[in-house]
Structure 1
Amino acid sequence: MTALGSTDPSCSTRSRYQLLLNQIEVLRQTDSVSEYQLEFEKFAHGLLLYNNSYDDTYFVTRFVAGLKDEIRKVIVLHRPKNVDTASALALLQEEELHKSRSKGFSKDSARTSFRSLPNKPRSSDGETSRQKVEKSETDDKLATLKEFRRRNGLCFKCGEKWSHNHKCPAQVSLHVIEELLDALEDTESEAEAADSSD
């Protein structure tokens, strides 16, 4: 039995463990997904030091619960199996939200500025440069997706763990197809818009 005021090492270990549990329970995304992911991983690794019985289901549930509403609602539909997949989807969703907000702003500002300008014919040079910018954005998206999968040891085609004897399955998961379609969607929609305007 320990006397009052003495320091019991198991007591301080227990209190640090409880503190980590409380911190991961109340952790919420307030800034970017990547910053939230770093904080979450710090707490998750700390928890595993005290208790290694936590599984992917617990951590992915906690991670998704802490995301901003606008991101979480989309990620929940994919039912990610681990935090790496959830964070990849969250990063893609964050990027899409950012693009849609910037497009909405540019459309509104373009409407007001075009009202004051006389009608001028479109220059083909401006259209070509715009298409180059859009193509580079799509390439950046694909490069980001490739880099994420390479860094996490995932196959680029099927999204599953890669090894030297890896073979892609006959059927690919729906979320893998959706990620690729999202990356390619902007280019196709712009090409259709350009065709319809001609």
Structure 2
Amino acid sequence: MKALLQLKQSGVVEEYIQEFQKLVYQVSMFNPHYGTIFFISQFIKGLKFELQGTVEAHIPDTLERAYLIAKVQQEIFDAAPRNAQRQYNRFDTLATRTEVVPKAPLKMGMGDLWKDRQLREYRRANGECFKCELKYDPTHVCGQKKAATLNAIETEECTVMLSK
């Protein structure tokens, strides 16, 4: 259990997954009551910093899905230009020097905030504007703004006379 809790990704994702699977098997042999959510959260916690957020944002419901998302994100990160990775790593070192208070993660079912976060992450990943869904570039200007609508209901007063 101690080895599982201290496991961190140091190389490629595939090596980390293999080591993680060995430890999950060993822990499950001694105590089969640990749930999938525990193992998924430990897997994400052990990933490199640049992969954690994206894998967690997909809210994987199985370990296999978490493995797949991590592999895809590793490929995307490796395909990115080196200067973009250097800027990201520079931010990472700045963040680790200062004390950062972690935000509580938004959980599924938390209402509109969770849905908005998922939509924003999806649009960011696909290079779309957050407001109008069109492809984003530095010269982008959002298209038509939605016109304000006024919804009203008019009722008439009606008197009913009953005769005896």
When normalised by structure 2's length, the TM-score is 0.50
RMSD: 2.3
What code does the residue aligned with 1:33 have? V
| Shift in alpha-carbon separation, 1:83–1:97, aligned structure 2, 3 A | same
Q: Deviations over 1:110-133 (max 9, x none)?
A: xxxxxxxxxxxxxxxxxxxxxxxx
Matched, 1:44 2:15: no
SS at match of 1:46: helix
Structure 1 position 87, deviation (Å) = 0.9
Residue 78 (structure 1) aligned with residue 20 (structure 2)? no
Distance 1:82 1:104 in 2: 31
Structure 1's consecutive aligned runs of 4 or more residues displaced over 2 angstroms after TM superposition are 101-105
Match of 1:61 among 36, 41, 44: 41
Local SS of the residue matching 1:75: helix
Matched residue pairs, number?
A: 90
Unaligned runs of 5+ in 2: 86-117, 127-134, 136-164
Shift of 1:101: 2.8
Code of the residue aligned with 2:53 in structure 1: it is: K
- Cα distance, 1:103 vs structure 2: 8.7
- Shift in Å at residue 46 of structure 1? 0.2
CA distance in 2, matches of 1:83, 1:28: 16
Give the superposition deviation at 1:73: 1.1
Distance in 2, Cα, partners of 1:40 & 1:102: 28
The structure with the greater share of residues assigned to helix is: 1
Matches within 5 A, 1:1-198: 21-101=1-81
User: Quick one: distance in 2 between partners of 1:86 and 1:43?
Assistant: 16
CA distance in 2, matches of 1:92, 1:103: 20
Give the whole-Å Cα distance in 2 for the aligned partners of 1:69 and 1:103. 17
Residue identity in the other structure for 1:45: Y
TM-score, normalised with respect to structure 1: 0.42
Q: 1 CA distance for matches of 2:26 and 2:76?
A: 32
Counterpart of 2:29 in structure 1: which amino acid? Answer: L
Contact 1:75 1:90 in 2 (8 A): yes
